[in-house]
Every structure is written in C-alpha cells, then in structure tokens.
Amino acid sequence: MTQHSLIIATGNAHKVEEFELLLKELQFDVVSAKNCGGMPAVDEDGSTFAANAQIKAEALRKLAPADAWVMADDSGLEVDALDGAPGIYSARYAGVDASDQDNVVKLLDALKDVPKAERTARFRCVLCVIDHDGYITHYDGCCEGRIDTEVHGDGGFGYDPIFIPNGYSESFAQLGDAVKSQLSHRAKAVELMCSILEK
C-alpha cells in the first residue's frame, strides 16, 4: 500500500495519540485534523454512532488533500440499566459544556439505586473511513464491563475512572494505556479495520 495520510477527524488530542498507537501496524502517516486547518464544526445530529462518525468524516474529507484517507470515530458508553444511555450523548450527558467530571457525577447519581450485578455497560466505538476514492466503510468495536459505584484512578479521560472492563477489578483509569490499548472499544474497532484493510 502506498503511504497515504490518514487524517483523524477530531479536535481531541487524546484521541489522535490513541489512534497513532493503535494504527502503527498500518502503512499510514497518521495526522490530526490540524493538518487541514482544524476540525470543522459539525452538527452531530445523527441517531447512531455510525451516522455521527460519518458526518465528521465527510466534513473533514472536503478539506483534506485528494489522496488522503479520512477516519472519524464516534464512541460512547452504553449502560444497560439506563436503556443504553448516555450512548451518543456520552460527551454531553450532563449538558453541552459538561466536563468529564460532571458527566461521571450525573451517571453515578443515575445508577445510585442499581445493584452491582445490574450495572453492566460497554464502551462502543464506530469508525467511519473514507478512502482516497471516496469509498465509505464502518467498523464497530465494543468493550464490555460494568460501572463501579465510585471513581478509581486518574489516568485516561471521560468515563474511564468508573468503567471496569470484564475480567479486571481495576478501572480503565487505573489499568494504564498499554492494557487499555488492547482492550478498548477503539482498539477492537481498529483491529477489525486493520484486518480488513490489510487484505
């Protein structure tokens, strides 16, 4: 495969770093949206992760060099006891300008009467990739786990301090990047993407 640029459609520096780590096997020069003048403002009004990822990817595609690939992700936390909420509203669960801490506090409050066994949840990530020919594909990844009753650890971001992946007793915020990069919903979606693109 020719070395193409893969431009990540996000203004979030954490995400770009995470994707750089996850995509190192692929022959891409992974760059951030800054290389196209920054991520354009988009109205994420899709009703699914896939729709929102595609909205972001298509917006950046218009600004990207013709031979570049563009990738966007939309991801969030689905809590079974809350019928899949916060879902696509994960980043703004406690309001449009909510901090990670605000969102975590609101979620813990919503689950305060839910017993441990019923606090199952998953991080879901859907990637939308648009190649240099404009061909669009989606890749879906999940990490199953549960929501703890309190915050643990100061690593990671978002809901990481309250999410305990299946098979572990520590939160994503405690497990560190090396473990998280193997388990995470983004890792699973990227793994699927890589297995298909390598073919």
Q: Between these two residues, 188 and 1, which has the higher pLDDT value?
A: 188
90: which DSSP letter? Answer: G
Measure the CA–CA gap between 125 and 14, rounded to whole angstroms: 15
Instruction: Describe the chain by its helix, strand, coil percentages, rounded to 5.
Output: 40, 25, 35
Range of the domain at 71: 4-197
The CATH number of the domain holding residue 160 is: 3.90.950.10
Token pair of 53, please?
């990822």
Other C-beta atoms closer than 10 Å to the C-beta of 84 total: 15
149-154 LR contacts (CB < 8 Å, sep 24+): 149/108, 149/111, 149/116, 149/119, 150/108, 151/104, 151/108
Contact 168, 143 (CB under 8 A): no
Q: Is 74 a catalytic residue?
A: yes
Using a pLDDT cut of 90, give the percent of the chain over it.
72
Measure the CA–CA gap between 130 and 110, rounded to whole angstroms: 37
The total domain count for the chain is 1
* pTM (2 d.p.): 0.88
Does residue 194 surpass a pLDDT of 90? no
User: How big is the CA angle at 21 (ends 19 and 23), to the nearest 5 degrees?
Assistant: 65
Taking only the tens place, the pLDDT of each residue in 91-123 is 999 999 999 999 999 999 999 999 999 999 999
For residues 37-52, average pLDDT: 93
Lowest mean pLDDT among 36-40, 61-65, 81-85: 36-40
Active-site entry in 73, 74, 148, 160:
74
